[in-house]
Structure 1
């Protein structure tokens, strides 16, 4: 399950609730495209802004609409108690896996993070993806800590935050991590600008934000990389360089992807939880023009 393309859709919403029909449509598009797995309630899915009941509803709908495609459900929360409750809900919904980031208001220690994963691994019966996302959690995993956590029951994949841009350094990064985790634990790359480079460097899976909106585009890159066609994969990714640059300029991909979903009539505006907002004015017009240029509109 933890190989190929794992696509992470938005969870369209406003202050009145979640747009379940829009979310269902996004999942259906991923199924039709043939993605390898679906990541519901990841950071792009705005999991941190939803109640437990809302998250349970989204998880259940994702599994229902996935038509057998494995669904990995995000269970990150501030307290271990709540993480365990969310894990229970996700499993009841039929999730094939659980995505867990060490979310915290106070900075966590290595032992505290290990204790979190240990508690969850003891309580669940489905695979766990370790979500290494320092840009959001402000916690940085060492390879040694990854190695400890990877020994726990049910830990099946590690989602790392990109790889170095240099090809040799990227390969060395993946080799260092691979050396300390069991062979059955896959290594996945996130950070879409580095998705192709991560796969070429030896990652098994691309956990992709843009895969949730443009699955065919990301599948082409993924399939080329995993088939050993490195030059083709990198060339396809390079064609999207203006999009990678746009994300960097705007401080991330969430607002831009949400705006793109609105522009493509895949989500109503607004589709983000306040105080988050999709792009407006000149930025919105510029993104619309960029998507048209890249044939992503």
Structure 2
């Protein structure tokens, strides 16, 4: 949910990140719209399109602009956050403008690169982009993909730039006390007007219980009811229930790890549920093989995820 606080639109609750189904012929627009409409029906707090799960790096600028328009057209009153990461600052600025013109509620920016970026280069990216924006921005801290590791000090410098509204952190320690300490250390460097959102779905309950304001969720994009149940329990202060609901999904978290991350699993889930045609990932990426799909289908049934 996006809250007006001190002049900023704030990010909290469940932000669901849907897949962008595609083939080598192009984006499967009908499947993408189905995913968006499912999230609207589920009443998620916000929708994050063109994140890592949305395969933004595999799309042309025109394709990305089209995805944004489709998402906003079908999202109704649900706020839409748009990923604007690109290799060139020039392209990031174009994508930001496209998102703003289309009616996005916010943007998400990771320091995407081919050459490994230095801290001053990353700060320069955010400095340039935030000064050109009129939308709130979420900093996407995703070292597993970008190979860039933010320090808390750098987060603090960026968080004081104009229009920065949230930080999407890559999980928290498993121990609840250590998780709370991690969140508090980060908060010591950033303004109170900037929210902290957890990603890495297996860590979501721990992160929310530790004081994170938002869950930027992969499973929320395909299993919104399960993600909402965890989020609402944590928001209600029922840490034990949020933890129980997350631990119930442990076989799914294990499948994520065994499959090289969450993307292949949620893509296969979309296919198995008839939300997307197979294949729905851009080559050379592939969804789960026969055994993985069998396991996932059983999990969907056993855990009542559909």
C-alpha distance in 1 between matches for 2:222 and 2:124: 35
**Matching residue within 122, 125, 129 for 1:116:** 125
Match of 1:280 in 2: 289
Match of residue 134 from structure 1: 143
CA deviations over 1:185-217 (Å, ceiling 9, x no partner): 000000000000000000000000000001111
Q: Distance in 2 between matches of 1:35 and 1:293?
A: 23
Alpha-carbon distance in 2 for matches of 1:103, 1:36: 26
1:200 corresponds to: 209
Matched, 1:262 2:278: no
Paired residue secondary structure (1:221): helix
Counterpart position of 1:13: 22
Cα pair 2:167 2:194 within 8 Å, conserved = yes
Distance in 1 (CA, whole Å) between partners of 2:18 and 2:230 is 18
Q: Please say if 1:59 is aligned against 2:68.
A: yes
Identify the residue that residue 5 of structure 2 maps to in structure 1.
none
Out of 103, 107, 112, which is 1:103 matched to?
Answer: 112
TM-aligned CA deviation for residue 245 of structure 1: 1.1
Q: Cα offset for 1:152?
A: 0.3
SS of the counterpart of 1:105?
A: coil
TM-score (norm 1): 0.99
Q: What are the equivalent positions in structure 2 for 1:74-93 lying under 5 Å apart?
A: 74-93=83-102
Displacement of 1:290 in angstroms is 2.1
Unpaired runs of 5+ in structure 2?
3-10
For residue 174 of structure 2, what is the aligned residue in structure 1?
A: 165
Instruction: State the TM-score, normalizing by the size of structure 2.
Output: 0.96
Partner Cα distance (1:157, 1:130) in 2:
6
Distance in 2 (CA, whole Å) between partners of 1:190 and 1:230 is 17
User: Aligned partners of 1:141, 1:116: CA distance in 2, in Å?
Assistant: 13
Contact 2:259 2:288 in 1 (8 A): no
Matched, 1:32 2:55: no
Q: Secondary structure at the match of 2:193?
A: coil
Secondary structure at the aligned position of 2:156 is classed as helix
Q: For this pair of structures, how many residues does the alignment match?
A: 297
1:210 is aligned, of 219, 223, 231, to 219
Which residue does the alignment assign to 1:23? 32
Q: Give the RMSD, CA atoms, in angstroms.
A: 0.7
Query: For residues 285 and 33 of structure 1, what CA distance do their matches in structure 2 show?
Result: 26
Which residue in 2 is equivalent to 1:237? Answer: 246
Query: Which runs of 5 or more residues in structure 1 are unaligned?
Result: none
Distance 2:305 2:182 in 1: 32
Q: Distance in 1 between matches of 2:131 and 2:204?
A: 32
Give the equivalent residue in structure 1 for 2:155: 146
Q: Distance in 1 between matches of 2:202 and 2:211?
A: 16
Q: Which residue of 37, 48, 51 corresponds with 1:42?
A: 51
User: How far off is 1:285 after superposition?
Assistant: 1.6
Q: CA deviation at 1:138?
A: 0.2
